[in-house]
Amino acid sequence: DADVTQTPRNRITKTGKRIMLECSQTKGHDRMYWYRQDPGLGLRLIYYSFDVKDINKGEISDGYSVSRQAQAKFSLSLESAIPNQTALYFCATSEGQGGNTEAFFGQGTRLTVV
Amino acid sequence: AQSVTQLDSQVPVFEEAPVELRCNYSSSVSVYLFWYVQYPNQGLQLLLKYLSGSTLVKGINGFEAEFNKSQTSFHLRKPSVHISDTAEYFCAVTWTAGGGNKLTFGTGTQLKVEL
Protein backbone atom coordinates (compact mmCIF):
# COMPACT_ATOMS: atom_id res chain seq x y z
CA ASP A 1 0.00 0.00 0.00
CA ALA A 2 1.13 3.53 -0.75
CA ASP A 3 2.35 5.68 2.12
CA VAL A 4 0.37 8.67 0.85
CA THR A 5 -2.97 7.84 -0.72
CA GLN A 6 -5.15 10.24 -2.65
CA THR A 7 -8.77 9.64 -3.60
CA PRO A 8 -10.18 9.87 -6.16
CA ARG A 9 -7.42 9.46 -8.76
CA ASN A 10 -9.51 11.02 -11.48
CA ARG A 11 -12.61 13.20 -11.29
CA ILE A 12 -14.72 15.12 -13.75
CA THR A 13 -17.11 17.63 -12.27
CA LYS A 14 -19.33 20.44 -13.45
CA THR A 15 -18.84 24.14 -12.90
CA GLY A 16 -20.36 25.26 -9.62
CA LYS A 17 -20.27 21.87 -7.93
CA ARG A 18 -18.61 21.27 -4.58
CA ILE A 19 -15.91 18.65 -4.62
CA MET A 20 -13.60 17.17 -2.01
CA LEU A 21 -10.23 15.56 -2.61
CA GLU A 22 -8.98 13.32 0.15
CA CYS A 23 -5.51 12.43 1.33
CA SER A 24 -4.43 9.93 3.93
CA GLN A 25 -0.96 8.91 5.04
CA THR A 26 0.62 6.09 6.98
CA LYS A 27 4.03 7.71 7.46
CA GLY A 28 3.15 9.25 10.81
CA HIS A 29 4.20 12.72 9.66
CA ASP A 30 2.78 15.83 11.24
CA ARG A 31 3.13 18.03 8.18
CA MET A 32 0.83 17.75 5.19
CA TYR A 33 0.52 19.83 2.03
CA TRP A 34 -1.70 20.30 -1.00
CA TYR A 35 -0.11 21.30 -4.29
CA ARG A 36 -1.53 22.00 -7.69
CA GLN A 37 0.40 21.15 -10.87
CA ASP A 38 -0.24 22.92 -14.16
CA PRO A 39 1.83 22.47 -17.34
CA GLY A 40 4.64 24.99 -17.48
CA LEU A 41 3.95 26.26 -13.97
CA GLY A 42 5.37 23.48 -11.86
CA LEU A 43 3.80 22.77 -8.47
CA ARG A 44 2.23 25.55 -6.48
CA LEU A 45 1.31 25.33 -2.82
CA ILE A 46 -2.39 25.67 -1.99
CA TYR A 47 -2.53 24.94 1.75
CA TYR A 48 -0.32 23.34 4.35
CA SER A 49 -0.76 22.04 7.86
CA PHE A 50 1.94 21.50 10.46
CA ASP A 51 -0.34 19.66 12.86
CA VAL A 52 -4.04 19.03 13.38
CA LYS A 53 -4.66 22.48 14.83
CA ASP A 54 -2.46 24.39 12.43
CA ILE A 55 -3.68 25.31 8.92
CA ASN A 56 -1.95 27.82 6.67
CA LYS A 57 -2.64 29.32 3.29
CA GLY A 58 -0.18 28.80 0.50
CA GLU A 59 0.42 30.95 -2.54
CA ILE A 60 -2.82 30.08 -4.37
CA SER A 61 -5.47 29.39 -1.71
CA ASP A 62 -8.34 31.42 -3.22
CA GLY A 63 -11.25 29.17 -4.15
CA TYR A 64 -10.01 26.31 -1.95
CA SER A 65 -10.46 25.22 1.64
CA VAL A 66 -8.97 22.40 3.68
CA SER A 67 -9.75 20.25 6.68
CA ARG A 68 -7.27 18.33 8.83
CA GLN A 69 -9.49 15.67 10.33
CA ALA A 70 -6.67 13.78 12.01
CA GLN A 71 -2.91 13.55 11.87
CA ALA A 72 -3.25 11.14 8.97
CA LYS A 73 -5.98 12.89 6.97
CA PHE A 74 -5.97 16.16 5.07
CA SER A 75 -8.79 17.03 2.67
CA LEU A 76 -8.98 19.73 0.01
CA SER A 77 -12.33 21.20 -0.99
CA LEU A 78 -13.42 23.27 -3.94
CA GLU A 79 -16.59 24.98 -2.74
CA SER A 80 -17.74 25.99 -6.21
CA ALA A 81 -15.55 24.50 -8.91
CA ILE A 82 -14.57 26.56 -11.94
CA PRO A 83 -12.84 25.45 -15.16
CA ASN A 84 -9.51 27.07 -14.33
CA GLN A 85 -9.25 24.74 -11.36
CA THR A 86 -8.73 21.92 -13.81
CA ALA A 87 -5.33 20.57 -12.82
CA LEU A 88 -3.37 17.73 -11.26
CA TYR A 89 -3.49 17.92 -7.47
CA PHE A 90 -0.90 16.40 -5.16
CA CYS A 91 -0.90 15.77 -1.47
CA ALA A 92 2.45 15.52 0.30
CA THR A 93 3.79 14.89 3.80
CA SER A 94 7.02 15.62 5.63
CA GLU A 95 8.42 15.45 9.12
CA GLY A 96 10.79 17.55 11.16
CA GLN A 97 11.11 21.08 12.37
CA GLY A 98 13.39 22.45 9.68
CA GLY A 99 13.36 22.47 5.91
CA ASN A 100 15.85 19.69 5.51
CA THR A 101 13.50 16.76 5.25
CA GLU A 102 12.14 14.98 2.22
CA ALA A 103 8.54 15.39 1.14
CA PHE A 104 6.58 12.28 0.18
CA PHE A 105 3.93 12.64 -2.50
CA GLY A 106 0.74 10.85 -3.33
CA GLN A 107 -0.02 9.64 -6.86
CA GLY A 108 -2.08 12.70 -7.64
CA THR A 109 -5.71 13.47 -8.43
CA ARG A 110 -6.51 14.63 -11.94
CA LEU A 111 -9.46 17.00 -11.70
CA THR A 112 -11.37 18.27 -14.72
CA VAL A 113 -14.01 20.97 -14.31
CA VAL A 114 -16.36 21.27 -17.29
CA ALA B 1 11.23 36.54 -1.85
CA GLN B 2 12.76 33.18 -2.54
CA SER B 3 12.32 31.59 -5.95
CA VAL B 4 13.58 28.80 -8.16
CA THR B 5 14.22 29.05 -11.90
CA GLN B 6 14.57 26.16 -14.28
CA LEU B 7 15.71 27.69 -17.52
CA ASP B 8 14.89 24.78 -19.83
CA SER B 9 11.33 23.56 -20.16
CA GLN B 10 12.36 20.67 -22.41
CA VAL B 11 15.67 18.90 -22.95
CA PRO B 12 15.92 16.28 -25.70
CA VAL B 13 18.96 14.01 -25.56
CA PHE B 14 20.07 10.78 -27.19
CA GLU B 15 20.50 7.65 -25.14
CA GLU B 16 23.96 7.25 -23.57
CA ALA B 17 24.70 10.96 -23.98
CA PRO B 18 25.38 13.19 -20.96
CA VAL B 19 22.77 15.65 -19.75
CA GLU B 20 22.63 18.70 -17.52
CA LEU B 21 19.39 20.19 -16.22
CA ARG B 22 19.83 23.71 -14.91
CA CYS B 23 18.44 25.19 -11.73
CA ASN B 24 19.06 28.59 -10.17
CA TYR B 25 17.61 29.89 -6.95
CA SER B 26 17.16 33.26 -5.34
CA SER B 27 17.18 33.60 -1.59
CA SER B 28 18.37 36.01 1.06
CA VAL B 29 18.77 33.20 3.60
CA SER B 30 20.33 29.79 3.65
CA VAL B 31 18.44 27.18 1.73
CA TYR B 32 18.13 23.46 1.31
CA LEU B 33 17.95 22.24 -2.28
CA PHE B 34 16.24 19.24 -3.80
CA TRP B 35 15.67 17.56 -7.13
CA TYR B 36 12.50 15.54 -7.60
CA VAL B 37 11.55 13.33 -10.55
CA GLN B 38 8.07 12.66 -11.86
CA TYR B 39 7.60 9.67 -14.13
CA PRO B 40 4.49 9.62 -16.35
CA ASN B 41 1.25 9.24 -14.38
CA GLN B 42 3.06 9.13 -11.06
CA GLY B 43 3.74 11.37 -8.11
CA LEU B 44 7.06 12.99 -7.37
CA GLN B 45 9.94 11.15 -5.76
CA LEU B 46 13.17 12.47 -4.35
CA LEU B 47 16.22 12.19 -6.60
CA LEU B 48 18.76 13.91 -4.33
CA LYS B 49 19.15 16.74 -1.84
CA TYR B 50 21.74 19.22 -0.62
CA LEU B 51 21.57 20.13 3.03
CA SER B 52 25.17 21.04 3.94
CA GLY B 53 28.72 19.78 3.60
CA SER B 54 30.09 18.54 0.30
CA THR B 55 28.77 20.57 -2.58
CA LEU B 56 28.60 17.54 -4.87
CA VAL B 57 25.71 15.29 -3.98
CA LYS B 58 24.86 11.96 -5.49
CA GLY B 59 21.38 10.62 -5.89
CA ILE B 60 19.51 7.65 -7.23
CA ASN B 61 19.76 6.30 -10.76
CA GLY B 62 23.25 7.74 -11.35
CA PHE B 63 22.26 11.39 -11.04
CA GLU B 64 24.35 13.97 -9.22
CA ALA B 65 24.12 17.69 -8.59
CA GLU B 66 26.52 20.39 -7.56
CA PHE B 67 25.66 23.22 -5.23
CA ASN B 68 27.33 26.48 -6.24
CA LYS B 69 26.67 29.19 -3.71
CA SER B 70 28.38 31.99 -5.62
CA GLN B 71 26.32 31.29 -8.72
CA THR B 72 23.22 30.31 -6.72
CA SER B 73 22.87 27.19 -8.83
CA PHE B 74 22.12 23.53 -8.27
CA HIS B 75 22.43 21.87 -11.68
CA LEU B 76 21.56 18.21 -12.14
CA ARG B 77 23.82 15.98 -14.23
CA LYS B 78 24.05 12.44 -15.49
CA PRO B 79 27.00 11.22 -17.57
CA SER B 80 25.01 8.72 -19.62
CA VAL B 81 21.22 8.73 -19.83
CA HIS B 82 18.89 5.84 -20.46
CA ILE B 83 15.48 5.69 -22.07
CA SER B 84 14.00 5.07 -18.62
CA ASP B 85 15.21 8.52 -17.49
CA THR B 86 12.51 10.12 -19.60
CA ALA B 87 10.51 12.08 -17.04
CA GLU B 88 9.89 15.55 -15.68
CA TYR B 89 12.44 16.90 -13.23
CA PHE B 90 11.74 19.54 -10.63
CA CYS B 91 14.21 21.59 -8.67
CA ALA B 92 12.92 22.74 -5.27
CA VAL B 93 14.08 24.79 -2.30
CA THR B 94 13.06 25.07 1.32
CA TRP B 95 13.98 27.43 4.07
CA THR B 96 12.75 27.98 7.56
CA ALA B 97 9.80 30.34 7.50
CA GLY B 98 7.77 30.92 10.63
CA GLY B 99 9.15 27.81 12.22
CA GLY B 100 8.13 25.48 9.43
CA ASN B 101 9.29 24.28 6.05
CA LYS B 102 7.65 24.66 2.68
CA LEU B 103 8.91 23.44 -0.65
CA THR B 104 9.00 25.95 -3.49
CA PHE B 105 9.28 24.32 -6.89
CA GLY B 106 10.67 25.40 -10.20
CA THR B 107 8.52 25.06 -13.30
CA GLY B 108 10.06 21.72 -14.26
CA THR B 109 12.20 20.37 -17.09
CA GLN B 110 10.91 17.62 -19.33
CA LEU B 111 13.77 15.28 -20.18
CA LYS B 112 13.13 13.23 -23.30
CA VAL B 113 15.65 10.52 -24.05
CA GLU B 114 15.65 9.30 -27.64
CA LEU B 115 17.22 6.29 -29.29
| A42: nearest CB among B51, B102, B106 | B106
Q: Is A55 on the interface with B (CB under 8 A)?
A: no
Mean per-residue pLDDT over chain B, rounded: 90
| Contacts B36 to A, Cβ<8 Å | 105
| B107: nearest CB among A40, A56, A98 | A40
Residue-wise pLDDT for B41-72, tens only, equals 889 999 999 988 888 999 999 999 999 989 99
Q: Do B104 and A45 touch (CB under 8 A)?
A: yes
pLDDT at B100 over 60: no
What pLDDT is recorded for position B90? 96
Residue A90's DSSP bridge partners are A35
Which site among A34, A45, A100 would you substitute to test the B interface, given the most B Cβ atoms closer than 10 Å to its Cβ? A100
Q: Do B103 and A40 touch (CB under 8 A)?
A: no
Other CB atoms within 10 A of residue B11 CB: 16
Q: Do A48 and B34 touch (CB under 8 A)?
A: no
Q: Do B105 and A94 touch (CB under 8 A)?
A: no
pLDDT at B101 over 90: no
**Do the Cβ atoms of A19 and A79 come closer than 8 Å?**
no
Q: Is A73 on the interface with B (CB under 8 A)?
A: no
Characterize the bridge pairing of strands A109-113 and A10-13.
Answer: parallel
What pLDDT is recorded for position A5? 96
Q: Do B101 and A96 touch (CB under 8 A)?
A: yes
Q: Do A99 and B43 touch (CB under 8 A)?
A: no
Residues A20-35 have a mean pLDDT of: 95
DSSP state, residue A85: G
Listing DSSP states for B38-93 in one string gives: E-TTS-EEEEEEE-SS-SEEE-GGG-EEEEETTTTEEEEEESS--GGG-EEEEEEE
